């Protein structure tokens, strides 16, 4: 199993300024490479304290590329419904070149109503936009004189520049949360799968089976393997009690900021997002302790964390990579650095063979 870092800024100006947030995230990214981690991931969002500091994961990853030499760089995710495929294909290929071929491109459908409303995109069209844009980006990366005519974009005889450094293109991933059809589509298309198990890994096990079965049916003869990456909050301290004290404070902040961003779902319904109505109520009622007792976060001493990683992987049915959120809740750099150091020094050597 491989491990890395997953960033999603959840800061308010009172808890951490944008300058401080990115200074901290860049320092942690460099430390992650030194400590033997494989990947650094950043997420795109707008307007809210949940993710709003980073409208451009590619901009952040370019800065990480300039400070590192081997760690993989992952968008986790860019939101294709808000971008033209020519733009996405060109900007991702540029970062692939800057990094010497270290970019993984993760796409997500977007789900915050305020983003769709402000940017003038119909939520009910998001699934079709998501799939059409990914398909178009893949064509621009790999073909010349590409023409498209869709309800969302059209162009003729486009040859994208720059061409990707990795051939035929960077590894591509897609995020899925609740809908079985989305897990199946990602498998059928041969994309890697990105998940964020919010409460318990058990709830995702059946979804991973759907993904893997669809992947095998479409690509089994090719020898290509399905790939699953999970993102989870992590706190490691010298004792379980110390780790839980940190987790209680900063997981609560993380959940509160997230709940504020999804408040619109308390009064919104969409046929494209079944099960999302009331999402804010669910987050506001969720206890931080429930996350790390049921596996949606990993918290404890090094020995406890080793056991909980093994249990998580067993309960979910196996993943290929876990990317840790170690700075959630606008956590101060020294606390996040402690988690990273203890994980790399005392946990990583024991779990890479999972």
**Contact (CB, 8 A) for 132 and 99:** no
Which residues are CB-contacts of 234 (< 8 A; sequence separation ≥ 6)?
297, 298, 299, 305, 324, 325, 326, 339, 343
Q: Please compute the mean of the pLDDT values over residues 272-291 and round it to a whole number.
A: 87
Q: What is the DSSP letter of 225?
A: P
- CATH number for 2-351: choose from 3.40.50.10860, 3.40.50.880, 3.20.20.30, 3.40.1160.10: 3.20.20.30
- The SS3 call for residue 153 is coil
- The SS3 call for residue 118 is helix
Q: Please compute the mean of the pLDDT values over residues 82-100 and round it to a whole number.
A: 98
Predicted local confidence at residue 272, as pLDDT: 86
Predicted local confidence at residue 279, as pLDDT: 84
Instruction: Give yes or no for residue 237 having a pLDDT over 80.
Output: yes
Instruction: Give yes or no for residue 199 having a pLDDT over 80.
Output: no
**Contact (CB, 8 A) for 146 and 74:** no
Predicted local confidence at residue 179, as pLDDT: 83
Give 334-351 pLDDT, tens digit per residue. 999 999 999 999 999 999
Q: Please compute the mean of the pLDDT values over residues 258-287 and round it to a whole number.
A: 88
**Contact (CB, 8 A) for 193 and 123:** no
Beta-bridge partners for 131? none
Predicted local confidence at residue 177, as pLDDT: 87
Beta-bridge partners for 149? 154
How confident is residue 250, by pLDDT bands cut at 50, 70 and 90? very high
How confident is residue 274, by pLDDT bands cut at 50, 70 and 90? confident
Higher-pLDDT residue of 44 and 277 is: 44
Name the residue ranges covered by the structural domains of the chain.
2-351
Instruction: Give yes or no for residue 297 having a pLDDT over 80.
Output: yes
Give the CA distances from residue 128 to residues 72, 122, 176, 199, 206, in Å, rounded to whole numbers and listed in that order. 29, 11, 15, 28, 24
Question: Rounded CA gap, 113 and 120, in Å?
Answer: 11
Instruction: Give yes or no for residue 266 having a pLDDT over 90.
Output: no
Name the percent of the chain lying above pLDDT 70.
100
Tell me the whole-structure pTM to 2 decimals: 0.95
Predicted local confidence at residue 353, as pLDDT: 84
How confident is residue 282, by pLDDT bands cut at 50, 70 and 90? confident
CA 201 to chain centre: 16
- Residue owning tokens 């429930």: 290
Neighbouring CB atoms inside 10 A of 14's CB total 8
Instruction: Give yes or no for residue 200 having a pLDDT over 80.
Output: no
């Amino acid at each position: 199993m491989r491990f890395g870092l997953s960033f999603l800024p959840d800061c308010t100006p009172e808890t951490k300024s944008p300058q401080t947030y990115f200074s901290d995230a860049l320092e942690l990214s460099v430390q992650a490479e030194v400590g033997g981690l494989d990947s650094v991931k950043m997420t795109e969002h707008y307007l809210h304290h949940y993710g709003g500091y980073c409208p451009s994961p590619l901009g952040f990853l370019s800065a990480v590329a300039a400070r590192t030499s081997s760690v993989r760089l992952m968008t986790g995710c860019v939101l294709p419904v808000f971008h033209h495929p020519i733009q996405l294909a060109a900007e991702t290929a540029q970062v692939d070149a800057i990094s010497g071929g270290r970019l993984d491109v993760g796409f997500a459908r977007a789900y915050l109503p305020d983003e769709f409303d402000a940017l003038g995109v119909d939520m009910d069209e998001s699934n079709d936009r998501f799939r059409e844009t990914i398909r178009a980006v893949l064509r621009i990366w790999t073909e010349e004189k590409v023409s498209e005519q869709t309800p969302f974009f059209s162009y003729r005889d486009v040859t994208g520049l720059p061409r990707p450094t990795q051939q035929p293109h960077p590894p591509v991933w897609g995020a899925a949360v609740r809908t079985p059809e989305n897990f199946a589509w990602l498998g059928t298309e041969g994309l890697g799968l990105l998940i964020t198990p919010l409460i318990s890994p058990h709830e995702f096990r059946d979804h991973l089976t759907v993904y893997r079965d669809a992947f095998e049916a479409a690509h089994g003869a090719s020898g290509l393997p399905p790939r699953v990456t999970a993102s989870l909050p992590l706190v490691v301290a010298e004792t379980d009690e110390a780790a839980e004290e940190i987790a209680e404070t900063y997981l609560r902040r993380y959940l509160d900021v997230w709940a504020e961003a999804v408040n619109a779902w308390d009064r919104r319904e969409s046929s494209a997002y079944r099960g999302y109505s009331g999402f804010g109520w669910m987050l506001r009622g969720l206890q931080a302790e429930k996350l790390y007792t049921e596996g949606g976060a990993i918290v404890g001493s090094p020995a406890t964390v080793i056991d909980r990683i093994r249990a998580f992987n067993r309960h979910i049915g196996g993943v290929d990579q876990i990317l840790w959120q170690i700075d959630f809740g606008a956590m101060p750099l020294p606390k996040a650095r402690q988690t990273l150091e203890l994980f790399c020094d005392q946990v990583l050597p024991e779990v890479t063979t999972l």
